[in-house]
Amino acid sequence: MFSQSIERVKHSGIESAFSQFLVKPGLIEQEYSRLYQQARRQREKADYVDEATIDEVIAQQVLADAERFVDRIKQFLNEIGAL
């Protein structure tokens, strides 16, 4: 994780590190860990499940959640002087 000098290669490792180093210490709210997990699951479903379909409502919700996630991470990085 950039702000903590922690590196992970896999998405699951990033998800775990996000929780361990940002959510558990209270730097980022738990809600954002859940948003990341849900977005990753939807992306994996779209990429790897044969004939997977994601309807427009779900896609719009994932996009809105991703925008909230990015906004919160930008806020955090500004707070710690990384941006």
Ordered mean pLDDT values, 10 residues apiece, the chain (83 residues): 71 90 95 93 81 80 94 95 88
The confidence score (pLDDT) of residue 77 equals: 93
Q: Which residues of 43-79 are buried (b: 16+ CB within 10 A; e: fewer)?
A: eeeeeeeeeeeeeeeeeeebeebeeebeeebeebeee
Give dist(CA 82, CA 38) in Å, integer.
26
Give the predicted TM-score (pTM) of the model.
0.80
The confidence score (pLDDT) of residue 42 equals: 85
The confidence score (pLDDT) of residue 4 equals: 61
